[in-house]
């Protein structure tokens, strides 16, 4: 009997439970494997906070948000003692493999763990959709639905009050979520990190909109947005600047706009609401597919891979190829082109 561990790490999102359920049902039901669940991501592996899971543990969780195992931002590779403890825990449980559900950081740590002699399989989770080599991660669609609804709501109130409303959208250093939400929610302006914005150009676009027959405006700003003045700063310099201003992207854009225009913009930070709640039908489907693929890889002994979506297929790619990379939005992306074609400004 094969025995593998499972953990969910990094920021949570809808679909984690659906993916674990798909993995567990296939691994236990079809392949008769055993599963050890580690609590709170890599921290559970460090501290051996774990239990042998039963089929019942994975029952009734398809639609539930969050993770039945909990999560954390534990960074165990900062401390060699913790790395030693993780390998010890892996051996103590006599695992054949460890399945890690998470984003870039989680896949990277999974890869590092594989170099310590543990077998690892990754499943791609994140609302940011920024995992290298993967077309769509689970969690993204659910967050997109939430953001779309939020933009719809901002539309009606912006329209009633003839206001400029700014929605700040998560995504870390990638603009996928803001781009898709902006497109889905009919934003007039979309600001993403991949396209540094010129506030003067945004002002011009907003002014035009405000003097139209429909004088209101909705702006979708990615949390990682950078202005043209910041485009050449190093990561460190940018971090310092951000710390000094103390303002998140939505508030920065609002302040910059208010300083040079007659209209007053207001901000809604969508925040953690984007990560909460139940997975959409689409996320449940891809989470299940990813989980099943993970179990198939386990059965075949194909380790040190990440399960990935390629078009409509689910494939696997070496963890080594994924680790330490980020998938930002290519500037020739079809969604950007479509947005521009329909008159949306990116401030470039």
Shortest distance in whole angstroms from residue 170 CB to ligand F6P = 3
* Contact indicator for 15, 136 with CB cutoff of 8 Å: no
Binding pattern for the stretch 259-278 against ligand F6P, x by CB under 6 A and - elsewhere = ----------------x---
Stretch 180-239 residues interacting with ligand F6P (CB under 6 A) = 223
Q: Which is nearer to ligand F6P, 96 or 223 (CB)?
A: 223
Catalytic residue at 12?
A: no
Does residue 128 bind ligand F6P (CB under 6 A)? yes
Stretch 162-181 residues interacting with ligand F6P (CB under 6 A) = 170-172
Shortest distance in whole angstroms from residue 96 CB to ligand F6P = 29
105 is in an annotated binding site: yes
Does residue 126 bind ligand F6P (CB under 6 A)? yes
Does residue 127 bind ligand F6P (CB under 6 A)? yes
Shortest distance in whole angstroms from residue 272 CB to ligand F6P = 7
Q: Among 14, 65, 103, 175, which residue interacts with ligand F6P (rule: CB under 6 A)?
A: 103
Does residue 118 bind ligand F6P (CB under 6 A)? no
29 is in an annotated binding site: no
Tell me which residues touch ligand F6P (CB under 6 A).
11, 73, 103, 126-128, 170-172, 223, 275
Q: Which residues are catalytic?
A: 128
């Amino acid at each position: 009997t094969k025995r593998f561990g499972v953990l969910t790490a990094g920021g949570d999102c809808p679909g984690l439970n659906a993916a674990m359920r798909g993995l567990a049902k296939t691994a236990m039901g079809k392949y008769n494997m055993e599963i050890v669940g580690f609590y709170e991501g890599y921290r559970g592996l460090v501290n051996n906070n774990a239990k042998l899971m039963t089929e019942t543990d994975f029952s009734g969780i398809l639609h539930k948000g969050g993770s039945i195992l909990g999560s954390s931002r534990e960074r165990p590779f900062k401390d060699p003692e913790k790395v030693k403890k993780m390998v010890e825990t892996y051996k103590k449980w006599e695992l054949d493999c460890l399945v890690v559900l998470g984003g870039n950081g989680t896949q990277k740590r999974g890869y590092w763990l594989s170099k310590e002699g543990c077998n690892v399989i990754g499943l791609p989770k994140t609302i940011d959709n920024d995992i290298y080599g993967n077309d769509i991660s689970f969690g993204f669609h659910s967050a997109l639905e939430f953001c779309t609804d939020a933009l719809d709501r901002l539309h009606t109130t912006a329209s009633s009050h003839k206001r400029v409303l700014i929605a700040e959208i998560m995504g870390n250093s990638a603009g996928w979520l803001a781009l898709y939400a902006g497109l889905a929610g009919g934003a007039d302006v979309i600001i993403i990190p991949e396209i540094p914005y010129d506030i003067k150009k945004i002002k011009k676009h907003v002014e035009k909109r405000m003097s139209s027959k429909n004088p209101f405006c909705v702006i979708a700003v990615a949390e990682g947005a950078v202005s043209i003045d910041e485009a050449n700063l190093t990561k460190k310099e940018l971090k310092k600047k951000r710390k000094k201003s103390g303002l998140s992207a939505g508030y920065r854009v609002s302040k910059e706009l208010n300083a040079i225009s007659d209209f007053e913009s207001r901000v809604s930070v969508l925040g953690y609401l984007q990560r909460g709640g139940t997975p959409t039908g689409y996320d449940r489907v891809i989470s299940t597919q990813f989980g099943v693929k993970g179990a198939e890889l386990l059965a075949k002994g194909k380790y040190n891979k990440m399960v990935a979506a390629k078009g409509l297929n689910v494939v696997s790619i070496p963890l080594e190829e994924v680790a330490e990379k980020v998938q930002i939005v290519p500037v020739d992306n079809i969604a950007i082109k479509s947005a521009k074609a329909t008159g949306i400004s990116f401030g470039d």
